[in-house]
Every structure is written in structure tokens, then in C-alpha cells.
Amino acid sequence: MDQVIIFDTTLRDGEQSPGASMNVAEKLRLATQLERLGVDAMEAGFPAASKGDFEAVKLIAEKIQNVQVTALARTSKEDIDLAWGAIKDAAQPRIHVFLATSDIHMKHKLKMSRDQVVETAVEMVGYAKSFIGNVEFSAEDGSRSDWDFLCRVFGAAIEAGATTVNLPDTVGYAMPDEFGQLISYVRQHTPNIHRAVLSVHCHNDLGLATANTLAGLRAGARQAEVTINGIGERAGNTSLEEVVMGLYTRKDHMDLTTSINTKEIFPLSRLVSMVTGIVVQPNKAIVGANAFAHEAGIHQDGVLKHRMTYEIMEAQTIGLSSNRLVLGKHSGRHAFKNKLEDLGYDLTREELNRLFEKFKELADKKKEILDEDIEALMAEEILRVPDVYQLDYLNVVGGTGAVPTATVKLKIKGEVVQSAGFGVGPIDAAFNTIAKMIETRSKLLRFSVNSISGGMDAQGEVTVRLQENGLIALGKGSDSDIITASAKAYVNGLNRLEYMKTNPSVKPEEITP
């Protein structure tokens, strides 16, 4: 009873972050890394949302062995059939059914009475149970529900066979002491609560998701629903790293453990950020760039004298190592393969050959190849969607007094086409020319440049966010030349838009929970 079940929903609630949709290869990669991290359960997606979601959940279910793979469903037979269809081949499948229980949701959204909600929950938990023993029931907007009614619904769901009952703070409204009291109340007043695991699922609208989750665990909940980097709907979900490291660091206070291999936290945080394009704020707890940096002289002095004067955790515990092995142009295939394995990537021979070639090209331009550079290569070469457009050649002219001009050669479905154009600057010229050649109607919503690592020869990493007909795609590109990185990112974004048009993996807004 002192072990907390870590239920990760990065692939489902996390993917509901605006513009964060991931392709199947990216989801599979994240799922593999989540398994390595040691989560107990992962919510792989919402199969009824789209064909793409169904496929992704199915592939994850077939691949992952040591984690309960969960599929989300509304309380309808169609949704539950799809959820089951997607996870039936999983080693450890779970169906997660949800229905709102707050008066405001029942009256305005569901247009159902309390009795109807109880009846539907019972019927649909029972239906899910006809497929599988492991069924979770969530009372959406639970924290704003009438407490006695919530206990009644949970009791009925448990009677119908739910093995986990989850209490979400769907809109991030709860306060920690109040949420803790609610959990205690539910434990005391729900019939047969001992037959199910009580879970918490908090959103971060008031910045209290982690505090509420910990308050819930302290009050007796034993499953925490979390996402990597806290990504998720609106202000996000409770972040996995904060809960896990909170329990780890303050074991003296809570006396609770998890099965998480904390050394995998930082690599996974980087991967999620890279795949979703959602940058981790520098001052983010645990995984932010400044989380272990000491700026003030007094602090630096203290840490040098005794680390624990100003540090409550060791950077190595979350997988941040100060003496990382750096690769360079003399590194061979074996060292490269070892490094990839260290970073958690298990590639096929063909993928390894392809990546090694790109690594050599980069090593010719850049003296030291850091982990971040390798992750960027992975994102560009391995996790990418099939390309319709490829950047074959780019030449830009800029500078004071010159009209910024770009000459571009693109391979479009294998055929090389060439054009030139102008812009207000060299990046604008390159984008205008590419847009003209592809005849895209997409709008550039966001453009950002980051340095992947430190140093004068650092690679630039460009992220673009493109929108067309309600679809939003993220494009990423990296290169030691930021104009080339920008063009690569733009072409990558256009490829992802094309992919989304033909693979309906984007969820229509109205059915995302």
C-alpha cells in the first residue's frame, strides 16, 4: 500500500496540448521510452477519436510488454468496442471509461439526470468488463461534483466491476487541502472502495496540479495520472517528474514509493519536448535548464563547500550527467551505436546506417557531437513522417544593400523542381520560394530558433507551426546554418501537414475529452 501506481497519459491527455499531435513513429518511440522509465500504466490514446489514434494505440498495444496499455472511451458501446479493438492484443490491456458527474456538466453538456449518469456508468463499465477484467472508471469534473453523488457513482462503478476509480480535477479548480479532504471523504463514504484503486488526475490551471496530486496521495489515493513535462490540455496535467521526485526526495514525509527509474526522466523529458515542439521553460521544476544551475555567488560557494547546502536532489538521479561522453568525427560506428543505446534508442541496421551517415556529415562541421545533437538527428532522420517534399538545394543571398533572394531545388514526389524568389530577409525569401513551389495555403503561426547546445559551432534548431484548414502541424529542422535549419523545418512542417491530410490522426475538437 505504500507504492503509488504511475499512470502516464502523455500520449493521450498530453497530446491534447494545442498543436502537440504526434505521428505514429513518434508515439511508438515515446511508448518504448515510457516502458524503459518504468511507468505502471500508459494511456496510449483515444481510439474513437480518429483512425490514426486507433492505429497508434493498436501498434503500441502490440509492442509494449511490461506496462498496462490503456485506451480511453466515452460511455458508449461504439467507443468501448473501438478501445477494445485497439488494445486486445496487449500483454496487459486496460479500458478507461469516463463520464462527467458534476451538476454543471450533467445539466449543460450531457443533459442527463443523476440517475441516468449512474445507470450509464454501470451499464458501460459492465460492457467494458465483458471484454476485460482491468477497467478504470473516471468521474469527469469529479472535483466540482457533489461529494455524496460522487461516492454513489464510484460505488456503483465498483459494483459493476471497475478496478480503478479515478477522480479528475478536470478544470484545475481544486485547492490542495480541499482535494485531500475530498479524497478522504471518498475513501470513507464509497461502498466497497477497498475493492478498487483510487486514482487522481489533476490539471494545472491554477498551477496546483502537483500539489493537488500529492495531497490526494497523502489522503490515500494510490494512482497518480501524470504526463512528462506536465504537457496536456490547456495549462497541462500534473507532471510525472514532479510527483515522482517529490515522493523520492521527501520519502521521509510521505513514505511512498514508485516503480520509476528516475535516471530515465531527463532523456524522456527531452524526447517529449523534441517530438511535440513544446519547449520546457528554463525554470521548470526538475527538468528545466536552470533546475540544477546555481547563479548567486553565495549559493555557488555553499554548493562547493557542501552540495546539500543548496541542492535537494542530485542531477544524476534524473539522468543528467555532468561528464557525458562526447562523440566527434573520429568516433566509429560502435561508439555511435553504444551512445544511441545509452540514450535509449534501439535502431534497426538500416536506421543505424542512415543515422551514422548523417552523424558523420555533422561531425565534419561540428567538433563535438553532444547528446542533444544526436537526438536532433534522430528526430530528423528516424522519427519523421514519409516525405512528399525534400529540400535538395538552397542558396540564399542577403546582407546590407542586397535584395534577399533564395534559389531552391525541391524534390516533389521524387521529381526535382527549381525556383527562385525574394523576401524581407533570407529566411523569408526561402519560405516564400518554397511556398510558391508547393502552392501551399498554409499559414505560418510560429517560428522559433534555439541553439541545440552551447558553443560557437552549436547547431540551430528551428521549430515552425503551420496551419491549414484547421490542421496544425509542427515542423522541425536543425543545421549549423540557421537559414538551412529554417528551410528544413518549413519543409518538414509541410510534409507533416500533407501526412495529416491523408492520415486522419487529428482529433476533431468536439470529441476530445
Report the alpha-carbon distance of residue 212 to residue 338 in Å, rounded.
41
What is the distance in angstroms between the CA of the first residue and the CA of the last residue of the chain?
31
Q: Which is nearer to ligand KIV, 73 or 374 (CB)?
A: 73
Secondary structure E strands in 52-106: 68-74, 93-100
Q: Which is nearer to Zn ion, 13 or 26 (CB)?
A: 13
Nearest alpha carbon to residue 164 among 342, 311, 43: 43
Query: Which of 47, 168, 216, 493 lies at the binding interface for ligand KIV (CB under 6 A)?
Result: 168
Query: Which of 105, 129, 201, 488 lies at the binding interface for ligand KIV (CB under 6 A)?
Result: 201
Report the alpha-carbon distance of residue 423 to residue 433 in Å, rounded.
9
Q: How far is CA 378 from CA 20, 39, 234, 275, 374, in A?
A: 18, 23, 28, 10, 6
Based on the shown chain and the rule CB under 6 A, indicate whether residue 227 belongs to the binding site for ligand KIV: no
Choosing among Zn ion, ligand KIV, none, which partner's interface includes residue 319 (Cβ < 5 to 8 Å by kind)?
Answer: none
Which 3 state secondary structure label does DSSP give 393? strand
| Smallest gap from residue 136 Cβ to ligand KIV (A) | 9
The x, y and z cell numbers of residue 470, run together, are 484547421
| Smallest gap from residue 139 Cβ to ligand KIV (A) | 8
The x, y and z cell numbers of residue 25, run together, are 513513429
Query: 3-state secondary structure string, 321-364?
Result: CCCCCCECCCCCHHHHHHHHHHCCCCCCHHHHHHHHHHHHHHHH
Choosing among ligand KIV, Zn ion, none, which partner's interface includes residue 138 (Cβ < 5 to 8 Å by kind)?
Answer: ligand KIV
Choosing among Zn ion, ligand KIV, none, which partner's interface includes residue 120 (Cβ < 5 to 8 Å by kind)?
Answer: none
Report the alpha-carbon distance of residue 291 to residue 442 in Å, rounded.
37
Residue in the block written with cell 496535467: 237
Q: How far is CA 211 from CA 144, 178, 237, in A?
A: 17, 11, 12
Q: Which is nearer to ligand KIV, 84 or 98 (CB)?
A: 98
Based on the shown chain and the rule CB under 6 A, indicate whether residue 258 belongs to the binding site for ligand KIV: no
Query: Which of 140, 373, 479, 498 lies at the binding interface for ligand KIV (CB under 6 A)?
Result: 140
Q: Which is nearer to ligand KIV, 46 or 431 (CB)?
A: 46
Q: How many CB atoms lie within 10 A of CB 63?
A: 15
Query: Which of 7, 54, 84, 98 lies at the binding interface for ligand KIV (CB under 6 A)?
Result: 98
Strand order in the sheet with 405-412: 389-397, 405-412, 415-422
DSSP code per residue over 456-488: TTPPEEEEEEEEETTEEEEEEEEESSHHHHHHH
| Smallest gap from residue 102 Cβ to ligand KIV (A) | 10
Q: How far is CA 510 from CA 50, 51, 204, 253, in A?
A: 12, 16, 21, 42
| Smallest gap from residue 16 Cβ to Zn ion (A) | 8
Return the exposure string of 86-103: e unless at least 16 CB atoms fall within 10 Å of the residue's CB, then b: bbeebebbbbbbbbbbbe
Query: Which of 21, 102, 138, 190 lies at the binding interface for ligand KIV (CB under 6 A)?
Result: 138
Secondary structure E strands in 54-122: 68-74, 93-100
| Smallest gap from residue 214 Cβ to ligand KIV (A) | 18
Choosing among Zn ion, ligand KIV, none, which partner's interface includes residue 199 (Cβ < 5 to 8 Å by kind)?
Answer: none
The x, y and z cell numbers of residue 129, run together, are 468488463
| Smallest gap from residue 295 Cβ to ligand KIV (A) | 37
Based on the shown chain and the rule CB under 6 A, indicate whether residue 404 belongs to the binding site for ligand KIV: no
Based on the shown chain and the rule CB under 6 A, indicate whether residue 13 belongs to the binding site for ligand KIV: yes
CB under 6 A: which stretch of 102-110, 165-173, 204-212, 469-477 binds ligand KIV?
Answer: 165-173
Based on the shown chain and the rule CB under 6 A, indicate whether residue 180 belongs to the binding site for ligand KIV: no
Report the alpha-carbon distance of residue 484 to residue 404 in Å, rounded.
15
| Smallest gap from residue 172 Cβ to ligand KIV (A) | 9
Choosing among Zn ion, ligand KIV, none, which partner's interface includes residue 493 (Cβ < 5 to 8 Å by kind)?
Answer: none
Q: Which is nearer to ligand KIV, 166 or 229 (CB)?
A: 166
Q: Which is nearer to ligand KIV, 153 or 394 (CB)?
A: 153
Nearest alpha carbon to residue 38 among 193, 257, 366: 257
Q: Which is nearer to Zn ion, 43 or 264 (CB)?
A: 43
Q: Which is nearer to Zn ion, 13 or 373 (CB)?
A: 13
Based on the shown chain and the rule CB under 6 A, indicate whether residue 264 belongs to the binding site for ligand KIV: no
| Smallest gap from residue 193 Cβ to Zn ion (A) | 22
CB under 6 A: which stretch of 164-172, 371-379, 462-470, 481-489 binds ligand KIV?
Answer: 164-172
| Smallest gap from residue 268 Cβ to ligand KIV (A) | 21
Q: Which is nearer to ligand KIV, 140 or 461 (CB)?
A: 140
In this structure, the strands spanning 389-397 and 405-412 are antiparallel
Choosing among ligand KIV, Zn ion, none, which partner's interface includes residue 140 (Cβ < 5 to 8 Å by kind)?
Answer: ligand KIV
Based on the shown chain and the rule CB under 6 A, indicate whether residue 442 belongs to the binding site for ligand KIV: no
Q: Which residues bind Zn ion (CB under 5 A)?
A: 13
Interaction site with ligand KIV (CB under 6 A): 13, 98, 138, 140, 166, 168, 170, 201, 203, 513
